[in-house]
């Protein structure tokens, strides 16, 4: 891992600032007005989907060669952060589009890239990621979903759990064991599965604490026949591709967490400047001011860490694994703390659905869990430190 003296930080260019301004306008005008209803009705945020497609913020990471805008990793984080500030469920659209398709972008053949990244860039589909299973969450190498070669094809059998935007997406990057007797971690292969493939079905929608607008379902594979050209990368290289993907995409969860926290702080600030007790605004009480100062300080530290990690992602720096895990863990812990404090500052009002901070508090919790729990992130960081 690099020392503080020899790694470059990030630079927010004029293009980055323009992207932030543009996506903030979209989020405020086309996404925020529907956020409460999306949560209350636990429905997919189609309004946000359509607005993101129309503004080219739907899958901004896709390279220009495949019809995308080719946004860098920092720009993608800015998009996700600004959308999450308005609606966490909606921010999972660009975030999971990157998660699901990045294995294709990193390791797919040119034909696979053209076939699957182009329609994603055009907004004709979302792209999900199938790694976790009921008994293989943090321990991904213990997965049981398997693919057996049959001539030029593969036959896929098993299930995946906790799959974001399942049922909405047309395409899924799915990891499966292709050599049961092979070395653990080197016997897994990545495939693209299409929603229309025979034998591919979905479980019921999970009933969740937060991000209710993003459907989470199981994937079921009953002898799904996949053509050989659906393999992503090399046979047996799937887990390496999956872990490399997560090094990059954990940062987007950090960006989501920063956006949620910023939204909660915004609402808390507006409330304490209006609410009066004992003859003055509660923002004038030192205890409240200390809480606000701590919230803002933690938020800015998290934001800086996410942006540094995003810059490292773009450069493929060798210490990305540490910084990606650190950014995700720290930002999500901060988001949970800030949203909880926002509810506290708003008192009884914050605890009701009349204000969005209770939703933000519920949404923040998942950022500490998915794409690797924060306990696993600390294991990842420690291992990187011990390698030095």
Out of 82, 218, 358, 371, which one is annotated catalytic?
A: 371
Is 371 in the active site? yes
Q: Is 69 exposed, middle or buried (0-12, 13-18, 19+ CB in 10 A)?
A: middle
Q: Name 153's bridge partners.
A: 150
Residue 291 contacts residue 341 (beta carbons within 8 Å): yes
Within 8 A by CB and 6+ apart from 360, the residues are 88, 260, 263, 264, 267, 339, 342
Active site residues: 371
């Amino acid at each position: 891992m690099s020392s503080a003296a020899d790694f470059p930080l990030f630079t927010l260019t004029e293009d980055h600032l323009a992207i932030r301004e543009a996506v903030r306008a979209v989020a405020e005008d086309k996404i925020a007005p529907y956020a409460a209803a999306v949560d209350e009705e636990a429905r997919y945020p189609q309004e946000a989907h359509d607005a993101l497609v129309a503004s080219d913020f739907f899958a901004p990471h896709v390279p220009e060669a495949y019809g995308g805008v080719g946004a860098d990793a920092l720009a993608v984080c800015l998009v996700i952060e600004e959308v999450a500030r308005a609606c966490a469920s909606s921010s999972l659209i660009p975030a999971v589009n990157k998660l699901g398709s990045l294995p294709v972008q990193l390791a797919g053949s040119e034909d696979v890239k053209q076939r699957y990244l182009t329609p994603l860039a055009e907004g004709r589909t979302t792209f999900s990621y199938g790694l976790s299973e009921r008994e293989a969450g943090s321990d991904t190498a213990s997965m049981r979903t398997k693919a057996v070669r049959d001539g030029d094809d593969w036959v896929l059998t098993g299930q995946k759990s906790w799959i974001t935007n399942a049922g909405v997406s047309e395409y899924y990057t799915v990891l499966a064991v292709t050599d049961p007797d092979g070395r653990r971690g080197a016997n897994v292969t990545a495939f693209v599965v299409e929603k229309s493939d025979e034998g591919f079905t979905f479980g019921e929608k999970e009933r969740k604490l937060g991000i209710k607008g993003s459907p989470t379902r199981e994937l079921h594979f009953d002898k799904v026949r996949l053509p050989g050209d659906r393999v992503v990368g090399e046979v047996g290289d799937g887990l390496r591709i999956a872990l490399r993907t997560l090094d990059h995409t954990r940062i987007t969860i950090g960006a989501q967490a920063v956006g949620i926290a910023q939204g909660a702080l915004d609402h808390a600030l507006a409330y304490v400047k209006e609410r009066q007790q004992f003859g003055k605004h509660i923002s004038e009480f030192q205890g409240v001011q200390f809480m606000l100062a701590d919230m803002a300080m933690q938020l800015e530290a998290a934001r800086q860490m996410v942006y540094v990690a995003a810059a490292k992602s773009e450069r493929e720096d060798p210490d990305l694994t540490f910084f990606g895990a650190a950014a995700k863990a720290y930002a999500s812990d901060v988001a949970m703390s800030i949203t909880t404090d926002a509810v506290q500052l708003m008192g009884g009002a914050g605890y009701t659905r009349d204000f969005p901070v209770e939703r933000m508090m519920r949404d923040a919790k998942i950022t500490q869990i998915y794409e690797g729990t924060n306990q696993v992130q600390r294991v990842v960081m420690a291992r990187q430190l011990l390698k030095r």
